[in-house]
């Protein structure tokens, strides 16, 4: 589920160049680097600009997340400021040049939040590599193929990697579906690559595994911005259909493993024709979206040391906003909904200005968040008839284990589904790492990418449900 993390970067701004820069042949061309201070740790950003001041282009790299050379949609120089826009990430940066033109100091804007960011001209300083001992290293005892498949409904192509056990055969298969935010096929986050680790483990266990880049991300086509969970569900359906066309795959033994929002995608996919034969959810939601987010805010806030009064006020305001959002018909325009929620904020918190209120509620009225907050997972659970394994970490602060698993159990009982397994794995966080508090700021500092106990739980359950068939 979404948090103020780095999976959905939001840059925006007003970018201009000083007269001195405009008169310099190379202008601001070159590398600009800086670090964002996030709850999950410092995050290095590297912008590379090219061209003349009148015609600039550029790319963004975020090494810790595996993001490399993403094209910047728009680069502008005006007066003494720089303006960068990255439409695929719904992001922007606004900064002002220093007198010597060697720094740009400004704001990184994301999901209604603003964070200071200073970019320095020149190569990024060398940093010690993050230790990730579980990252698989070649040579591998299996085949790996770059593949692409078509989502005909959305008219886009998705790119991914299919790993196949050695030898001939028709193999049971798995599709991996990532959580929220634009993610690559390895679900890269803060130097970790959970899906690469999981795919490697399962392929060694005899399963073919398909993992793919989200639409509009890395090598996949389409546009991420504006898409909802329902759109991502059609991508997962296309992945399942693609595997079933292959002669090396057993078409009646194709599982879907969804992490976080991917769990909701798994429920939606399994509730429709052509769904998976097996479902595994990793920190998947069972409660309605607004309930998940309200609990997430409380758990993360508490783990980060927020006092009881602040937690209570946050719940009071957000609870009222979510309830108001649910009351509005789907036909309500984004503009009208934003104004309505902003006025509600001012009723609840008179000290907040109209401008601040509008800015604060804007993230709630975007297509993805609006869909998520108003989605009742039970609608899909009661239609899921295939075998299910639902795993959650006991220290997950993003999708609370006990209450979401309880809701999943109730929903599957309504479906009269008797082949279900629920497990809360002790000591594990939202990423299934062995954690201390489970707070998101711990993710980057943990060397473990995916706890062996969680890998074994998934692998053994899949083997039990595919062996001898």
According to the model, what pLDDT value does residue 90 have? Answer: 62
- Provide block-wise average pLDDT over 10 residues at a time, the chain (469 residues): 34 26 56 78 84 85 74 83 75 84 81 73 68 93 96 96 93 96 90 95 98 95 94 98 97 97 97 97 96 90 82 91 92 93 92 86 89 94 97 95 96 96 97 92 88 98 88
Q: Quote the tokens at residue 73.
A: 């949609």
According to the model, what pLDDT value does residue 17 have? Answer: 28
Query: Rounded distance, CA 462 to CA 456, Å?
Result: 10
According to the model, what pLDDT value does residue 7 have? Answer: 25
According to the model, what pLDDT value does residue 165 have? Answer: 97
According to the model, what pLDDT value does residue 65 have? Answer: 64
According to the model, what pLDDT value does residue 469 have? Answer: 62
Spell 68-103 as b/e; 16+ CB within 10 A means b.
eebebbebbbeebbbbbbbbbbbbbbbbbbeeebeb
pTM for the whole thing?
0.77
How does DSSP assign 362-426, residue by residue?
A: GGGGSHHHHHHHT--THHHHTT--S-EEEEEETT-SSS-HHHHHHHHHHHHHHTT---EEEEEET
CB 4 within 8 A of CB 114: no
pLDDT tens, position by position, 67-99 = 778 888 888 888 788 888 876 666 788 888 888
Among candidate residues 469, 468, 281, 250, the one with its CA nearest the CA of residue 388? 281
């Amino acid at each position: 589920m979404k948090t103020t993390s780095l999976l959905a970067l939001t840059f925006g701004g007003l970018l201009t160049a000083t007269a001195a820069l405009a008169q310099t042949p190379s202008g601001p061309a070159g590398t600009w680097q800086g670090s964002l201070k996030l709850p999950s740790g410092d995050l290095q950003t590297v912008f590379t600009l090219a061209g003349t001041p009148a015609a600039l282009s550029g790319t963004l790299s975020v090494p810790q997340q595996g993001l490399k050379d993403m094209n910047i949609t728009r680069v502008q120089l005006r007066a003494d400021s720089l303006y960068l826009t990255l439409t695929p990430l719904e992001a922007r940066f606004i900064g002002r040049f220093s007198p010597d033109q060697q720094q740009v100091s400004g704001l990184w804007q994301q999901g209604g939040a603003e964070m200071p960011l200073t970019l320095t001209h020149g190569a990024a300083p060398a940093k010690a590599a993050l230790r990730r001992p579980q990252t698989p290293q070649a040579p591998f005892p299996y085949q790996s193929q770059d593949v692409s498949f078509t989502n005909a409904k959305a008219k886009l192509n998705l790119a991914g990697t299919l790993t196949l056990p050695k030898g001939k055969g028709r193999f049971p298969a798995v599709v991996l579906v990532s959580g929220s935010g634009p993610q690559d096929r390895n679900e890269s986050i803060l130097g970790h690559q959970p899906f690469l680790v999981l795919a490697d483990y399962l392929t060694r266990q005899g399963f073919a595994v398909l993992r793919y880049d989200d639409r509009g991300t890395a090598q996949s086509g389409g546009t991420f911005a504006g898409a909802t969970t329902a759109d991502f569900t059609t991508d997962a359906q296309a992945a399942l259909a693609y595997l079933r066309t292959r002669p090396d795959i057993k078409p009646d033994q194709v599982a879907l493993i969804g992490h976080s929002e991917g769990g909701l995608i798994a429920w939606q996919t399994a509730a429709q024709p052509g769904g998976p034969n097996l479902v595994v959810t990793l920190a998947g939601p069972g409660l309605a979206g607004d309930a998940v987010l309200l609990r997430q805010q409380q758990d993360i806030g508490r783990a980060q040391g927020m006092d009881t009064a602040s937690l209570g006020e946050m719940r009071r305001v957000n609870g009222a906003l979510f309830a108001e959002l649910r009351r509005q018909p789907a036909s309500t325009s984004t503009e009208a909904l934003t104004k309505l929620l902003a006025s509600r904020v001012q009723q609840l918190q008179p000290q907040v200005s109209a401008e601040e209120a509008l800015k604060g509620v804007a993230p709630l009225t975007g297509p993805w968040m609006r869909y998520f907050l108003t989605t009742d997972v039970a609608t899909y659970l009661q239609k899921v008839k295939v075998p299910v394994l639902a795993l959650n970490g006991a220290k997950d602060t993003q999708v609370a284990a006990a209450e979401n698993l309880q809701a999943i159990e109730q929903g599957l009982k309504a479906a009269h589904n008797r082949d279900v397994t629920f497990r809360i794995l002790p000591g594990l966080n939202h990423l299934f790492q062995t954690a201390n508090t489970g707070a998101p700021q711990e993710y980057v500092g943990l060397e473990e990418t995916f706890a062996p106990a969680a890998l074994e739980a998934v692998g053994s359950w899949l083997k039990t449900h595919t062996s001898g068939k």
